[in-house]
Amino acid sequence: MNPSLNRLLSLDGKVALITGASSGIGRGTAKRLAEAGATVMVLDINENGGQETVQEILNHGGNAAFQRCDVRSEADCKGAVEEAIKRFGRVDILFNNAGVAIRKTAVELEEQEWDLALDVMLKGAYLLTRHVVPHMIKTGGGSIINTGSGWSLKGGGQAVSYCAAKGGLWNMTRAMAIDFGKHKIRVNAVCPGDIDTPMLRGECAQLGEDETKFMEEAATRPIHRVGTPEDVANAVLFLASDMSTWITGTHIVVDGGGIA
């Protein structure tokens, strides 16, 4: 491969913050960005899972550290960004990925469950962006990637809080792209379909469905399989890298053709 192409995908010298990185899409993306050369700060409330992600990266020659962060807390978000700056001197990539899926209708959903969903997925992205952007401005730019969903773009059954949060996150992505483009900060979203993660299997349990049947139905799409965290991680790498320097305010659907 031409060395110049390698340089376009390289994240050497860059620092990435990833929320919800103790498992699933967050862990897969943390590993992929580390493979591309980034130093990764793993953010999560799950300390054991977060440390496991860090150890996997270290075992493969990458550089990573864990910071406990409840994305609903401004103090935690501010502290995580400050710790990244203290340890690594900069933040070039922010992947707002933390999420929670509560499979209920508006009638079934409790108020505290609504608050949890919107606080984790919408407020958390706002808080981390708020504290990361000033540092990105100082260093000349950066890339913010938000985890949306196919349900950012269309509705889904028994998932009112999830659809609300992901729909809001997608439009927030576009608004932030407009606000921060002048600072060479790009803001985009990845919109996964069904990805084989603990969260997806947790949805199956919530709905009381047979897991084998649930996963088989999740694979009924033009590309006949459930997605993997690595499928999403590859899209995030593209948006984080210099391969996408004129791409902002948009989304990449990673769903095997599910909403085609």
Show the tokens assigned to 255. 């769903």
Check pLDDT > 80 for residue 130.
yes
Q: What is the pLDDT of residue 127?
A: 98
| Residue at token pair 């992947």 | 95
Each residue of 32-47: b (16+ CB within 10 Å) or e?
bbbebebbbbbbbbbe
Alpha helices in 152-210 (DSSP H): 160-180, 198-207
Report pLDDT digits (tens) over 31-51: 999 999 999 999 999 999 999
CA distance linking residue 98 with residue 207, whole number of Å: 21
Q: Which domains does the chain have, with CATH numbers?
A: 3-195+228-253 (3.40.50.720)
Q: How sure is the predictor about 197, in pLDDT bands with cuts at 50, 70 and 90?
A: very high
How much helix, strand and coil, in percent to the nearest 5, is found in the chain? 50, 15, 30
Task: Inform me whether the pLDDT recorded for 218 exceeds 90.
Answer: no
Q: What is the mean pLDDT of residues 205-231?
A: 93
- With vertex at residue 216, the alpha carbon angle to CA 237 and CA 26, rounded to the nearest 5 degrees, is 25
Average the pLDDT over 160-175 and give the result.
98
Is 126 an annotated catalytic residue? no
Residue 204 has pLDDT above 90, yes or no: no
Measured between alpha carbons, how far is residue 50 from residues 26, 40, 45, 165, 216 in Å? Answer: 10, 11, 8, 24, 29
Please answer whether residues 187 and 144 qualify as being in contact, where contact means their C-beta atoms are separated by less than 8 angstroms.
yes
Residues 21, 43: Cα–Cα separation, whole Å: 6
Give the span between the Cα atoms of 8 and 242, in whole angstroms. 5
Separation of alpha carbons 6 and 38, rounded Å: 14
Helix (H, G, I), strand (E, B) or coil at 63: strand
Q: Is the pLDDT of residue 1 over 80?
A: no
Indicate whether 27 pLDDT > 90.
yes
Q: In what order do the strands lie in the sheet with 39-44?
A: 63-68, 39-44, 15-19, 93-96, 142-147, 185-192, 251-254
Mean pLDDT of the chain: 97
What are the pLDDT digits (tens) for 86-116? 999 999 999 999 999 999 999 999 999 999 9
Catalytic option among 95, 162, 170, 180: 162
When comparing pLDDT for 73 and 6, which is higher?
73
Confidence grade of residue 242 (pLDDT, cut at 50, 70, 90): very high
